Chain A
């Protein structure tokens, strides 16, 4: 039986209550909106790209503890990374939360706290919403991304 504390780890709860980089970036040159119509979660991700590099990142929106904490920790983990590096982290993160990880969680650093999500398949979309939005912002897509 999956344990609640595996999902709602202290770090996750803490980030959901006090999300980092929770701001609209004045200097943003890339931006995307993400939406999960099933639960109403909605995030905007702002990027200030310096060539291929994420110089600054911010996000705003509303969602559950998992989606908000995931967005918050995502901003910390991809700041200063290149587009390619950020996408690589997303793929690893996606594998982690869907239970397809290859035991290379160490490379994910703090993001490893989301491993409990794989025991709660209904919550995978919560954990990945901000990441899908980041991906759209990196691609420079204008349309709103949706998890559905």
Chain B
């Protein structure tokens, strides 16, 4: 597989069979009216909306399958266990992991990243070692490493980016050394939309003996991800940003690394035997899944992946790429708008500031027109500092967004300029 597999598919011809109006009908919430206007939901990088298939999967789980997994001999427990492990296989295929046992269910990306920091990190990062991140990370890929470094006397290093919001690869490579034990990088920046060259970054890190943790929360909704092609050591993502339920996420980890790691939390399911003297831990992935998991969430995540596969991730990527290009042109042309994050390779996100108007005021005025955008620092305060701004307005796209909605946003921004004229 080529590196091109990790970037959106270009070209419109391939997308003739993509019917956005039919897709919109699958998402009940899109019928909502906000302040008398049709909802224009452009806050997908925060959380995406859910198709009927996912909502139905949650209901079906509770109405027909609910029982605790890996425990009972009774009928429902067996059904629930089978569905749970089937979902693990669905996730494995979704990111092309080599084995289903390399898929660990977590509460989300944040928990997955903390899991790696607290297990792999604690056993492999020591005093004087370094953890290397990038200047565009989300707080959830900064703070767990900061905590680890503080505890271990290690140093957090940050690879810089340019004014377009692109990682400076040469600077990144210069920061890699024998001291670098872990590299943690976002596949796609939530604040800027930049697609990082993770495959190259991973190869460079491996050449220096570091393992790489990829925060894929903003990538999996928009790109075909292949963890084996990337050669990622760990890859974390959330269900709720890819049309699945909240409260469920995934950590992919290479089998050999997972097996060598200590458990994250203690409890039921993560053990094979317990006495008061000694506990033997279960094998992976169960070693990392203490307690009763979010079984309904897992069922919903499986439904979300099935739904995305049914439409085709390449088609989704092509549609969103077309939308982003259109939005960049239309919104970028509005007087006073300054786009923040203009990398050549981008996915899903259009961040901007407008004249001297504070993003919070823009957010309120857009909301009055039914347009939902995110305003603020997007849990990436160092990114805001890098651009010398307190906050941005962020429009982020999903498969169900339309050019008409981009036009509504443009109209909304013009209204903001009128109010503040």
Residues of A within 8 A of B (CB): 1-2, 4, 7-8, 13, 38-42, 62-66, 120, 122-123, 126
B371 → A minimal CB distance (Å) = 13
Contacts of B419 in A (CB 8 A): 4, 8, 13
Main secondary structure on chain A at its contact with chain B?
Answer: mixed
Within 8 Å CB of B377, what residues of A? 39-40
Docked CA distance A64–B359 (Å)? 7
A-B contacts, 23 of them at CB < 8 A, read A2-B35, A4-B368, A4-B419, A8-B365, A13-B419, A39-B359, A39-B360, A39-B375, A39-B376, A40-B376, A40-B381, A40-B384, A40-B390, A41-B390, A62-B390, A63-B358, A63-B390, A64-B358, A64-B359, A65-B420, A120-B364, A122-B364, A123-B364
Which of A4, A38, A39, A41 is B365 in contact with, Cβ under 8 Å? A4
Count how many pairs of residues, one from A and one from B, have CB atoms less than 8 Å apart in the complex.
51
- Residue-wise interface mask of B (356-377) relative to A, using a CB-CB cutoff of 8 A (1 in contact, 0 not): 0111110011001000000111
- Classify the secondary structure of B's interface with A: mixed
B358, A38: Cβ atoms closer than 8 Å: no
Bound together, the chains give a CA A122 to CA B361 distance in angstroms of 11
Task: Give the interface centre of B35, B357, B360, B375 by most chain A CB atoms within 10 Å.
Answer: B360
Known: A8-B361, A8-B420, A13-B420. 5 other contacts (CB 8 A): A4-B364, A4-B365, A39-B375, A63-B390, A120-B364
Q: List, in ascending order, chain A residues with CB within 8 A of B358's CB.
A: 39, 63-65
Residues of B near any A CB (own CB < 8 A): 35-36, 357-361, 364-365, 368, 375-377, 381, 384, 390-391, 419-420
Tell me the nearest residue of chain B to A3, going by C-beta.
B368
**Do the beta carbons of A126 and B360 come within 8 Å of each other?**
yes
Q: Which residues on B sit within 8 Å (CB–CB) of A42?
A: 390
Which chain A residues border B359 with CB–CB below 8 Å? Answer: 39, 64
Q: Taking each of A4, A13, A62, which has the highest tally of chain B beta carbons within 10 Å of its own beta carbon?
A: A4
**Closest CB in chain B relative to A97 CB, distance in Å:** 14
B390 to A7, Cβ gap below 8 A?
Answer: no
Residue among B364, B384, B390 with the highest chain A CB neighbour number at 10 A: B364
Assess the A1–B36 pair: CB atoms within 8 A. Answer: yes
- Whether B420 and A38, one on each chain, are in contact in the complex, defined by CB atoms closer than 8 angstroms, is no
Determine how close the nearest CB of chain A comes to the CB of B32; give it in whole angstroms: 15
Residue of B nearest to A123 (CB): B364
A42 to chain B, nearest CB (A): 8
Cα(A62)–Cα(B419), bound, Å: 20
* Known interface pairs A8-B419, A65-B361; A38-B376 also in contact (CB < 8 Å): yes
* A40 vs B360: C-alpha distance when bound (angstroms): 10
Give B360's nearest chain A residue, CB to CB. Answer: A64
- Give min CB distance, B363 to chain A, whole Å: 8
Please give, as numbers and ranges, the residues of chain A lying within 8 Å of B360 by CB-CB distance.
Answer: 39, 41, 64, 66, 123, 126
Residue pair A1, B375 in contact (C-beta under 8 Å): no
Residues on the B chain within 8 Å of A122, using CB: 364
